[in-house]
A and B are shown apart, each in its own frame.
Chain A
Amino acid sequence: MTPRRAAPTVAAAVAVAALAAGCGLPDGDYFGRVPDVRDRPRHLRLCNSGEPEGLDPATVSSTTAMKAVYELFDGLTTYDLAGLPEASLATRWDTSADVRRFTFHMHDRGRWSNGRPITADDVRYQVIRVLHPSTASVNADGLAPLKNAALYNAGAARLVLRDTGALRAGDVVEVLAVDGKTLDAWHAAGDRVPDSNLRRGSRPLALRDRGAAVADAYGQVPPGDDVQIVELSGDPLRPDADTWAYVYWNHGDGLYGWVPLADLDVAPFDDAVYRVRRRAPRDTPGVDLSPAELTAPDPPRPAVEARGADLMALPEVLGVRVPDPYTVVFETSNPTPWFLNLSDNRILRPTPREAVSRRPRRWTDPDTIVTSGPMHLTAWYQRDRIELTRSPTYWDPDEVKLDRITLYAIDDQSAATNFYFAGGCDAVSSNQVPASYIRALEGRYKDFSIEPYLGIYMALIQTEQFPNRHLRRALSFAVDRRPLPTFLQGGQVPTAQFMPGTPIARLSDDDLRLCGVTRDTPGVASIMISGELCYVPPPGLDFDPERARAELQLARDEMGADFPTHLVYRFNQGVEGHKLIGEYLQHQWKEILGLDVDLEVQEWKTFLTDTKNGNYQVARFAWVGNFPDAEGEFLPMFRCGSPNNRARWCNPAFEAAMDAAQTIQDRKARLVQVREAERIMIEDAPVIPLYVYVQTNLRKPYVRDLGLNLIDQQPLHRAWLDPDWRAHRDGAAP
């Protein structure tokens, strides 16, 4: 026997041994081991989908990080089991008649883990942090509806400190140019823009908490070093001897701190010449507008010049105010009916100034973190696990059913599923089951489920390369979406609609009534406010070979010699399903339309860059919403100026419809208008929706009250483990 012949023999022997060891799927109701939890009924172990990039609510953006962040930091509202906002630090809120002012009334029982009460100022501080350029937060965009948020973030908003020329103290202005050059020109030249907020001390500056003694300083800025004023205590228009300044020192990892304003005695850009323009009434904080004023054209606002000494970038320019320690008021430029959906988001969860200032990049390390949520961070082992324990200072201890949560960082799907199988974790974060397992698990084990998810899988069309709408419509009509789940094997919901949601067939009777549909209506719908508001997206251009061919003929007639005989479909590597979809589209477009399609695969970041730059013809893409609102989360990607408009589709009728929706105050009437905008978009086919994403979930049978919802946000601390689950299995859960 030579080694060459021996190898297969041995390999076969190993395989037989593997089978003998019982590698087939286990019998029984549950997938793998169900460990006994009698000795740890208040400890949940979750297989999280990987290593969070951080734990700072102002800067993190991954769903992986959210699992920990939402346990560590409380919000004005938090996610309920359905994933919709419910009262937390705020007990109630009011919306102004023009839907542009939102007042949150907070209770006084909230405590940071260092014992300090959580106040409205902490919420305002978070807004400032997310938007201040020094934070460099990727989330800044999320607060764009607030008055002047984007302008402040771009360093182009200023408060007028005293009457000068045509400007009045308290005016908010937009910076057009400094010292004769526009901001863009400054940036293009690679130079730092002269900043009227920069100051220096002729003596060392002692950075400290507001009001603290010099001896308690945690940072010393040497004389002559630049610091940037972020905020002033009291009324910035009337500074006095007691006024303190909160400054940023760009040194090392950066440091923030308070110093008496008088210590900042050198102002290098007092004489810089700013060319500014007053903001429109709708963008001015504190200004209410009647519906007529809201739609009226802006009065002319001439550009004027002002000195750096008279201007400062301060939070007062933003649409956030704190009239008393337990009330916070937000103001948006346009009516923003979905504002409540921002109030539970990380970007509005307060963060503790005293901890952030001292270590801006590292304050969330276990030894320095200050938290406000039901759980506190006790340990963070990089790329291994995060340990959370019940916070002794949380204001609502009765709601906390767990003493401890362990989040394992497992970013490999097979590893996560295997680890769950062996009993290593009690639940797996959604979508961590490999596609190849799903068919074997679905319908067979009671601890496995597939639920809809607020995400849409689509093919985007680069409309500058394919300006003919008939051609685009033909491409959409030619795709039969129904077979997608059979070859993707994941329980996906085929759709031609753009806005994702729950399949109508799966809605409760009450929700059917709310949405005004019957159970046999095809498509999906999303519940935006339980019992109050439902959105049914317009039907898309679903499979219709006749219409596809008719549209194609129209395109051929209109385009003549420009008609493409052949197109390129591009997708990113790493996911088997993208390739399968590509091959399926290739087949459909060839068979129905006779078009030749080339497939191109690209590495992820290259793919992102190319699609962003319009360097593609048709490409796979996906969009996942933070909350179920077409106007707030899904349709903005088709606005002309949106950085997310990879389809490069810019349609005046759609723009007008979206603008019209913005001014409507009644939510239901507004939804009708939004639906019309979506209809205009989908009829023009810059996008070919293919399926609604689903989430796969594995949860041991003893796990109770771990919510399942469209956006996969669960209040983990409300879950609990039932050691006697076997006894309760057949009866109702206790």
Chain B
Amino acid sequence: MIRLIVGRVLMGVVVLWAVATVAFFALHAAPGGPFDDERAVPPEVMRNIEERYHLDQPIFTQYLHYLGDVVRLDFGHSMKRQQTVAEIIRHHAPYSAKLGLFALAIAISLGVLLGVLAAHRQNRLADHAAMTVSLIGISVPSFVMGPLLVMIFALGLFWLPPARIEGFTSYILPATTLGLIYMGTIARLTRSGMLETLRQDYIRTARAKGVSERGVVWRHGLRLGLLPVVTYLGPATAGLISGSFVIEKIFQVPGLGYSFVASITDRDYPVLTGVLVFYAAFLTALNLVVDIVYGVLDPRIRDRR
């Protein structure tokens, strides 16, 4: 287990370096710069700006500077806003995280419930109903689902705010929109995992022992039946917590996902590379956590090494 963790951490460092490097060169290769606008800036003025942000230096020199800063965990200043990249991440990431965790809670609780229900009542009405709901969750894109929910609950019934985050209630619509997508997948994974598990010998043994149906499903079946879901939860959690650009835009959540996309259109080099490295580190860490949890859930994996 320790070897696994150390190996993964070392691997993660290499991944981070690769991400930082690719991001840096890809963005600098894109045409235009942070200070290009409809009103063009005269060359003399542009020279002052480039000098200030070191954009006048050769690209490789800039890269080495940047890499040195990243190693010292200094991501620099935004070129479009007055905050530092660290401040931007610190300020916006919690909004995305809260939204994501809320959505995750909705996705897991509803998804597992629907999945277990469907597996248990396979090919009966409950199964079809649950799978229909999950299909809607998967197939209706968030840019349709979001405005639809806004229309009903914010503009029609005036129950919830249509945009902006101000207090707990304003998370409900965006979190539901975001959670529904993942709920669908989780329900489907749970259903197939459970169906397979419920046919296993040890389940038959449990039934033969006289374990109650509820016990069979929730205690014995679910533990193995959830393995595919756990695998899926790693990247899903990362995706949820790092912020969804579309949902953050529709609901004007000041999260990191939107800042990230804006930094691409703005060519805000430090923000883009900084947030990307942050994301990569976050994703690497989550994958590690999944590996560990996997080991805990499935003894076969833990004992293999």
Contacts and interface: CB of A to CB of B under 8 A. Distances in A.
Contact of A382 (B47, B91, B156): B91
A17 B58 contact: no
B41 interface: yes
A53 interface: yes
A28 interface: no
Given A138-B49, A190-B58, A412-B250, A6 B128 contact: yes
Contacts of B52: 134, 136
A421 interface: yes
Contact of A153 (B31, B48, B162): B48
Interface string B131-147: 11101100110000001
Given A414-B250, A424-B163, A141 B45 contact: yes
15 contacts: A2-B128, A10-B132, A10-B136, A22-B157, A138-B37, A187-B47, A187-B56, A364-B82, A410-B164, A412-B249, A412-B252, A422-B155, A603-B265, A605-B36, A612-B40
B233 to A, nearest CB: 24
Interface string A15-30: 0011001110000000
B154 interface: yes
A18 B45 contact: no
B80 interface: yes
B156 A22 contact: yes
A381 B91 CA distance: 9
Interface in B266-292: 267
Contacts of B13: none
Contacts of B49: 136, 138
A51 B36 CA distance: 18
Contacts of A416: 163
Interface string A401-434: 0000000111110111011011010000000000
A608 B38 contact: yes
Contact of B152 (A2, A21, A424, A604): A21
A138 to B, nearest CB: 6
A383 interface: yes
Interface in B115-136: 128-129, 131-133, 135-136
A635 interface: no
Contacts of B39: 61, 644
B124 to A, nearest CB: 11
B43 interface: yes
Contacts, number: 177
Given A361-B82, A605-B31, A643-B42, A154 B57 contact: no
Given A384-B254, A410-B252, A14 B162 contact: no
A56 B82 CA distance: 10
Interface string A127-142: 0000001111110110
B157 A21 contact: yes
Contact of B254 (A140, A383, A624, A646): A383
Nearest to B254: A383
A17 B133 CA distance: 16
A32 B150 CA distance: 14
B162 A418 contact: yes
A610 B32 CA distance: 9
A622 B251 CA distance: 29
A141 B42 contact: yes
A609 B29 CA distance: 13
Contact of A606 (B30, B82, B156): B30
B303 interface: no
Given A136-B48, A138-B45, A412-B252, A622 B152 contact: no
B40 A643 contact: yes
B38 A623 contact: yes
B38 A10 contact: no
Interface of A: 1-3, 6-7, 10-11, 14, 17-18, 21-23, 32-33, 51, 53-54, 56, 61, 133-138, 140-141, 144, 150, 153-154, 187, 190, 253, 361-362, 364, 381-384, 408-412, 414-416, 418-419, 421-422, 424, 603-606, 608-610, 612, 621-624, 643-644, 646
A153 B52 CA distance: 13
Contacts of B252: 409-412, 415, 419
B33 A54 contact: no
B98 interface: no
Contacts of B58: 190
Nearest to B39: A644
Given A361-B82, A382-B83, A605 B267 contact: yes
Contacts of B132: 3, 6-7, 10
Nearest to B82: A54
Contact of B162 (A1, A22, A150, A422): A422
A625 to B, nearest CB: 10
Interface residues of B, number: 66
B94 to A, nearest CB: 12
A412 B147 CA distance: 12
B3 interface: no
B265 A605 contact: yes
B301 interface: no
B44 A53 contact: no
Contact of A422 (B35, B80, B147, B154): B154
A418 B155 contact: yes
Contacts of A409: 252, 254
Name the residue in B82, B151, B154 with the highest tally of chain A Cβ atoms < 10 Å from its Cβ.
Answer: B82
Contacts of A609: 31-32, 36
B81 A23 contact: no
A605 B32 contact: yes
Contact of B163 (A6, A10, A61, A410): A410
Given A384-B254, A424-B162, 9 more contacts: A3-B131, A3-B135, A10-B132, A138-B35, A383-B258, A605-B31, A605-B36, A606-B32, A608-B32
Given A138-B49, A382-B254, A7 B136 contact: yes
Given A415-B252, A644-B39, A18 B162 contact: no
Nearest to B45: A140
Contacts of B128: 1-3, 6
A53 B82 contact: yes
Nearest to A416: B163
Contacts of B156: 18, 21-23
Nearest to B156: A21
B30 A51 contact: no
A51 B151 CA distance: 25
Given A54-B81, A187-B47, A190-B56, A382 B40 contact: no
